[in-house]
Each structure stands twice: as C-alpha cells, then as structure tokens.
Amino acid sequence: MHVPWGWIKQRPHFLAEELSKSFSIDVYNHKPFRTLSLIKNSSGISIKNIVQLPFGRFKIIRYLNVYISKLFFTYIYDINNYKYIWITDVRLYPYIKGLLNDKQKIIYDCMDDILEFRILQKQYMELEDIEKDLFQNVDFVFFSSEELKNRKVKKYNVNNKIYALVYNALDKELIRTKMYNKYDNTFNKYKEKGYTIVTYIGTISNWFDFKLVQKSLEELDNIVYFLVGPVEHNVEVIKHERIKYFGSVEHKYIKSLILQSDVLVMPFKLNKLIEAVDPVKMYEYIALGKNIISVRYDELNKFLDYIHFYENYNEFKNILINLDNNKNDKTINNTFIECNNWENRSKTIVKLLKDIF
C-alpha cells in the first residue's frame, strides 16, 4: 500500500483489516521520512516497510527505488510465497513486475485517479505508461467509484470480466466505540460562546477550498472551523482565530469529534481528481446522523437523501445560516450502517475472488 500504516485511516487500512479475517495477510507500506503526521493505528496484521530513498520527485531516485524494492521483494521478503498480490497504487506495480510466477494473481484496488494528482503532473507520461501496463497485465481490478470505473474502463478497454465496483464504507467499530473526552475542553470553549462548530475530517491537500472557508469566516461571525487530519506538505493553510487545526488523530476519537460537532463539511475544489472520489468520510458523517454540507458532484448523487449540496459560495453560506437554527443531532442511521460497512465490502471482495480464481 502507498499510504503509510500510521496515516489517517483510509480504504487500504480498513480493507486489510477485514480481509485478514479470511486470508493470511502481510502489509507492505511506505514509511515516510517525515513522521510528524503519523499516528498509532493498532492492528494484529504483520506490517513491513518498503525501503525508499527520499526525493522521489527526481526520476533517477524513482528508478533507484524500483531497483531497491525489487531486491527486497526478491531476496528478503520473497513475495513468491503469496497467492494474491494486492496493490493500491500504480506506482507500486514496477516494484513487483517480472517477479511473480504464473500462479500468482495481481489485484489492483483502484481508489484514486493517480493521473490527476497535481503534485504528480510532471510524471504524467511516466505514470500513464505504468498504468497502461498494469491494466494490460492485472488479473482483477476493484474500483472505488463509478466515475473512476467508467474513466479507466474506457481509456484502457478493460475486459468487463476482470473488474468490479466496490464502494468505500464505514467502520462499524467506530459506531460501537465509546465516547472519549479528550477534546471536550476544546469543544466546550467554543460552545459556551455560542459558536456553530463546523468540522472537516480528512487529509488537507490542494483540493481543500480555503477561499470558501475564509470568506465564510469573514461574513459569518458565529462559526468556527475544526479541521481534523494531516496537512500535506506544500499546502498553504490559512491562519484564523476561528480555525482550529487538530492534525492527525487516532481513529477511535473520530466518533466523539463528529458527534460533538454541529455541522460536518466537505469543502472541496472540484477537479477531475475529486470527481472520481467516493469519500470515506461521507459514510462516517451519514452513519452518525449529522448535518452535512458538501460540494455537489455526480459521484455523490447516491447520498442525495443525506447531504445539503452547494454549487457556489452563496449556496454554501445560505445552508450554513439555515442550519444554524437547528443544532440538534439526528439519530444514528442503523440501516445505512448495515448496508455500508467495511465488513460487508470485504465479504463481497472475498466472494468475487473465490468465484473468479
């Protein structure tokens, strides 16, 4: 997996934990040199690090990293012992290309459109070649969104017998976990002053709409933003007395953070990358019955019954104003939870793998 095990929990973390109930699993992940954003994600899974040189933005370093990784997978980790090789990013494919025997199966969990990451635009042609090669040689692909599936199937003419759509989901344990009081003082400080607490949970990257956030702070003096999650490097955040940055937090605290908030938001700038995303955070927001505001795009149409959508700043502002008069929490959505949890997604994946292979 390309996401560090100590990063804020995402699809690879949850699926690895659930699939480990049906398979014996080893997780190989990149451990970044900058560890300030990492947290402790406890697990009984065997976690091993992929050795990498820093400064991967340089082509020569990327080639060296592929060479080093192949040596590790050949002589130290011996990946020929595995039945399935599951990769979460096209950039991992060169590490294992040419090392597998004929009986081993390559499974690609396509969770983002790697070609649309702004930070990787200088590598576009290189990544496109790797992605094309992967889709020509993969044994099965799981897509996390309808848009992502349609985009890649069309681009590479993928055989409809070797892919399936498996949406993201929520962690049932998050719903069952107890409430923690670690952040109570922070919430109470603002609630006592009558503020509406508007919370975002997730990675903060260049797609986060800070202009929208800043304008709303300038025009609405009764709101405060709680931004929970790691800030990617080279992202210029804004500083404001009514923005509280929490950084990465352990997943067990997410329930408390959500339930104590008045509104949950997903203020993203729309681009091709975002339009192919099925946000994990949205499942958690909905399950816990909170008021939700999100930018509108087609992939989220399946959540029409749960979300207040906006297409411009004025719509966002008006929704916030109207929600301010009703801060009462809704009830936990048990039906949604039972239909959209990682355990069920894993069962779907296991069945597909057993039927196909």
- Average pLDDT of the segment spanning 77-97: 95
Give the separation between CA 86 and CA 242, rounded to whole angstroms: 42
Q: Which residues pair with 106 in a beta bridge?
A: 85
Q: Which residues contact 188 (CB under 8 A, 6 or more apart)?
A: none
pLDDT digits (tens, 9 = 90+) for 36-73: 556 666 678 999 988 888 888 899 999 999 999 999 99
Burial (0-12, 13-18, 19+ Cβ within 10 Å), 306: buried
Report the top-level CATH class of 11-168+342-356: alpha beta
- Average pLDDT of the segment spanning 247-263: 92
* Model confidence band, residue 328 (pLDDT cutoffs 50, 70, 90): very low
Give the separation between CA 345 and CA 46, rounded to whole angstroms: 22
115: left (phi over 0), alpha (psi -120 to 50) or beta: alpha
Strands 196-201 and 223-228: parallel
Angle at 251 between CA 258 and CA 109, to 5 degrees: 110
DSSP 28-69: EEE--S--TT------SSEEEEEP--S-TTSHHHHHHHHHHH
- Token digits for 256? 């408390």
DSSP 147-181: HHHHHHHHHHT--TTSEEE----B-HHHHHSPP--
- Average pLDDT of the segment spanning 265-292: 94
Rounded to the nearest integer, the mean pLDDT of the chain is 92
Give the separation between CA 179 and CA 285, rounded to whole angstroms: 16
Give the separation between CA 332 and CA 238, rounded to whole angstroms: 33
User: What number of CA atoms fall less than 13 Å from residue 60's CA on the CB side?
Assistant: 0
* Model confidence band, residue 177 (pLDDT cutoffs 50, 70, 90): confident
Q: Write down the number of H helices and E strands in the chain.
A: 14, 12
* Same fold? 11-168+342-356, 172-337: yes
- Domain positions in the chain are 11-168+342-356, 172-337
Question: Cβ distance 163 to 153 under 8 Å?
Answer: yes
Q: Which residues contact 236 (CB under 8 A, 6 or more apart)?
A: 210
CATH number of 172-337: 3.40.50.2000
Torsion of CA 45, 49, 50, 54, to 10 degrees: 140
Instruction: Measure the N-to-C terminal CA separation of the chain; round to a whole number of Å.
Output: 22
pLDDT digits (tens, 9 = 90+) for 286-323: 999 889 999 999 999 999 999 999 999 999 999 999 98
pLDDT digits (tens, 9 = 90+) for 218-229: 999 999 999 999
Place of tokens 């990063």: 7
Please report the sign of the dihedral spanned by the C-alpha atoms of residue 13, residue 18, residue 19, residue 23.
positive
SS3 2: coil
Strands 46-50 and 308-310: unpaired
Q: What is the pLDDT of residue 327?
A: 47
